[in-house]
Structure 1
Amino acid sequence: MIKNFRFTLFALLCAAIVAAAVSFWLLPSRAETVGILLPDNSEFVSIGKRVYRESCASCHGVNLEGQVADWRSPGADGMMPAPPHDETGHTWHHPDQVLFNITKLGVVKAANLKNYESAMPAYEDVLSDKEIIAVLSYIKSTWSEETRARHDAMNKSYKAKE
């Protein structure tokens, strides 16, 4: 009787382990990143939040709210104000690689705009690639699941076109 109980217990334990492994393998995970950003990586998000506050918040706002309410119209200097990076802005309308390039190279160089002036500096000599990815990961981590899912779908589409 004890042998049967041990065998049954062992068989149930093995079945539970196999079921858990299969479930883990089949269920989609937010850890499966799409693009280069890591919004679910707490280390990157923490670094990104610090770097954002040090290097970006003075223009884009401490709470990602942007420079001015009407960020879609040029300022008195003729340049576009810094847009918000929260969901009211357009950051999530661009794939990861485009956001990375704009941050690293600046808008003018990244978009190859010859006759365009922008107050957005290039950060290639200021921040490392890891810091840029961390900042963008922090920004994305603040978006709703719905917005993040739409952004992930855009990244998939962008990657498919490469």
Structure 2
Amino acid sequence: MRSGVLILGAAALVGTIGAALYMFARDDVGVRRGRVLYGANCASCHGENLEGQPDWRSPGSDGRYPAPPHDVTGHTWHHSDADLVAYITLGGEAALAQMGVAFDSGMPDFGDVLSQSDIVDILTYIKSSWSERERTVQAKRTMAGSN
């Protein structure tokens, strides 16, 4: 039941402010707060500078892929806000299972650690590193509801 509630929460979050997340990419307060939250919760795996882990496109000996970058060299900007919020909230494996994808993801869930406001600020910080092109592509995917 926890998953269903969180997915609904993520959908409600995006339904309410999905378009605003794109605009928040230029919000200095959100970027500063998101940078601090990212440093405390994400940087140990995804890198201090959003660079991800080495060889992130190849599975490790355990079959899991290393943490991808969140800058323009990665694929974060290829996903809608709803999918990004679900991935952070539920963790990779559970979020992907909700989408019908079986994948052994190393991404832990942060639903009990980060508030929805925290997640928005982290995404705001990440998006602030993207060019206008990546933000526009990602905003269109968010509006279309695609992953």
Give the TM-score taking structure 1 as reference length: 0.72
Specify which of 25, 39, 51 is matched with residue 65 of structure 1.
51
Alignment check: 8 A CA contact 1:66 1:83 kept: yes
What is the distance in 1 between the residues matched to 2:101 and 2:78?
A: 23
In structure 1, the gaps of 5 or more residues are: 1-32
Q: Which has the higher contact order (CA 8 A, sep 6+)?
A: 2
Task: Give deviations 1:63-121, integer Å, cap 9, x for gaps.
Answer: 100011x2111011211110000000000000011001000101111111685322210
Alignment check: 8 A CA contact 1:34 1:155 kept: yes
**The structure with more radius of gyration:** 1
- The residue aligned with 1:52 is 38
- 1:48-127 equivalences under 5 Å are 48-68=34-54, 70-112=55-97, 116-127=103-114
Following TM superposition, the consecutive aligned residue runs of length 4 or more in structure 1 with deviations greater than 3 angstroms are 113-116
What is the distance in 1 between the residues matched to 2:144 and 2:20?
A: 10
In structure 2, the gaps of 5 or more residues are: 1-17
Give the TM-score taking structure 2 as reference length: 0.79
Report the number of matched residues. Answer: 127
- The residue aligned with 1:5 is none
Aligned partner of residue 145 in structure 2, secondary structure: helix
Specify which of 134, 142, 145 is matched with residue 155 of structure 1.
142
Percent sequence identity over aligned pairs: 45
What is the distance in 1 between the residues matched to 2:116 and 2:46?
A: 20
